[in-house]
Structure 1
Amino acid sequence: MDFSTVELGADELAFRGGVRSFLATHVTDDVRRRDRETGDNFDEGVHLAMGADGWLAAELDTPEQGGLTRVQRRIWDLEKRRAHVPWVTWGTTIIVSKSVEQFGSPELREEVLPRVRSGEVRLCLGYTEPEGGSDVATSKTRAVRDGDQWIINGSKMFTTGAHNCQYAFLITNTDPEARKHKSLTMFLVPLDTPGIEIQGLRTVDGDRTNIVYYTDVRIDDRYRLGAVNNGWSVLMEPLSIEHGALAAAPDGLADVSVMVHQGTMMAVAADRIAAVAARPGPDGRRLLDDGATSYRLGRSIARIEAALSAPAMFGRVAIAQAMRDVSPELMDLLGAAAALPVDAEGAIDAGGAEYLYRWAPLCGIYGGTLEVFRNLIAQHVLGLGRPHYAPAVAAKAG
Structure 2
Amino acid sequence: MDFARVELSDDDRRFRDEVRTFLADLVTEDVLRRDRETGDNFDEGVHLALGAAGYLEREWKPESEGGFSRVRRRIWELEKRRAHVPWVTWGTTSMVARSVAKFARPDVADEVLPKVFSGHVRLCLGYTEPEGGSDIATCKTRAVRDGDGSSWVINGSKMFTTGAHNCQYVFLITNTDPEAPKHQSLTMFLVPLDSPGIEIQGIRTVDGDRTNIVYYSDVRVDDRYRLGEVNGGWTVLREPLNAEHGAVAASDDGLQDVSIMMHQGGFLVGACDRAARVVGTPGPGGDRAIDDGSVAHRLGRGIARMEVAISTPNIFGRVALAQTMRDVSPDLMDLLGTASALPLGTDGAADDGAAEYVYRFAPLVGIYGGTLEVFRNMIGQYVLGLGKPNYSAPAKKAS
Give TM-score scaled by structure 2 length. Answer: 0.98
Structure 1 gap ranges (5+): none
Output the amino acid matched with 1:135.
D
Deviation at 1:60, TM superposition (A): 1.4
Within 2, Cα distance between the matches of 1:378 and 1:364? 17
**Equivalent residue number for residue 296 of structure 1:** 298
**Equivalent residue number for residue 51 of structure 1:** 51
Deviation at 1:391, TM superposition (A): 2.2
Within 2, Cα distance between the matches of 1:334 and 1:116? 44
**Equivalent residue number for residue 378 of structure 1:** 380
**Equivalent residue number for residue 107 of structure 1:** 107
Say whether the 8 Å CA contact 2:2–2:253 is kept in structure 1. Answer: no
Within 2, Cα distance between the matches of 1:127 and 1:389? 24
Output the amino acid matched with 2:10.
A
Deviation at 1:393, TM superposition (A): 4.1
**Equivalent residue number for residue 15 of structure 1:** 15
Partner SS state of residue 137, structure 2: helix
Aligned partner of 2:361 among 359, 362, 380:
359
What does residue range 254-265 of structure 1 map to in structure 2 within 5 Å? 254-265=256-267
Within 2, Cα distance between the matches of 1:4 and 1:64? 25
Output the amino acid matched with 2:283.
G
Within 2, Cα distance between the matches of 1:390 and 1:165? 41
Within 2, Cα distance between the matches of 1:363 and 1:98? 24
Q: Considering only aligned residues, what root-mean-square deviation do their CA atoms show, in Å?
A: 0.8
Partner SS state of residue 79, structure 2: helix
> Is residue 66 from structure 1 mapped to residue 66 from structure 2 by the alignment?
yes
> Is residue 84 from structure 1 mapped to residue 84 from structure 2 by the alignment?
yes
**Equivalent residue number for residue 118 of structure 1:** 118
Deviation at 1:395, TM superposition (A): 4.2
Within 1, Cα distance between the matches of 2:128 and 2:302? 33
Partner SS state of residue 136, structure 1: coil
Within 2, Cα distance between the matches of 1:153 and 1:366? 25
**Equivalent residue number for residue 247 of structure 2:** 245
Within 1, Cα distance between the matches of 2:304 and 2:61? 37
Within 1, Cα distance between the matches of 2:19 and 2:207? 29
Give TM-score scaled by structure 1 length. Answer: 0.99
Structure 2 gap ranges (5+): none
Within 2, Cα distance between the matches of 1:391 and 1:30? 55
**Equivalent residue number for residue 394 of structure 2:** 392
Deviation at 1:21, TM superposition (A): 1.3
**Equivalent residue number for residue 229 of structure 1:** 231
Say whether the 8 Å CA contact 2:246–2:315 is kept in structure 1. Answer: yes
Within 1, Cα distance between the matches of 2:395 and 2:139? 28
Output the amino acid matched with 1:81.
R
Residue by residue, what CA displacement relative to the aligned partner does 1:18-73 show, whole Å, maximum 9, x if unpaired?
10111011100110010000000000000000000100111111111111000000
Within 1, Cα distance between the matches of 2:231 and 2:359? 42
Residue by residue, what CA displacement relative to the aligned partner does 1:118-173 show, whole Å, maximum 9, x if unpaired?
00000000000011100000000000001210000000000000000000000000
Within 2, Cα distance between the matches of 1:17 and 1:151? 51
> Is residue 75 from structure 1 mapped to residue 75 from structure 2 by the alignment?
yes
Within 1, Cα distance between the matches of 2:193 and 2:303? 44
Within 2, Cα distance between the matches of 1:140 and 1:395? 38
In the TM superposition, structure 1's runs of 4+ consecutive aligned residues that sit over 6 Å from their partners are none
**Equivalent residue number for residue 213 of structure 2:** 211
Say whether the 8 Å CA contact 2:2–2:252 is kept in structure 1. Answer: no
Residue by residue, what CA displacement relative to the aligned partner does 1:225-254 show, whole Å, maximum 9, x if unpaired?
000000000001010000000000111000
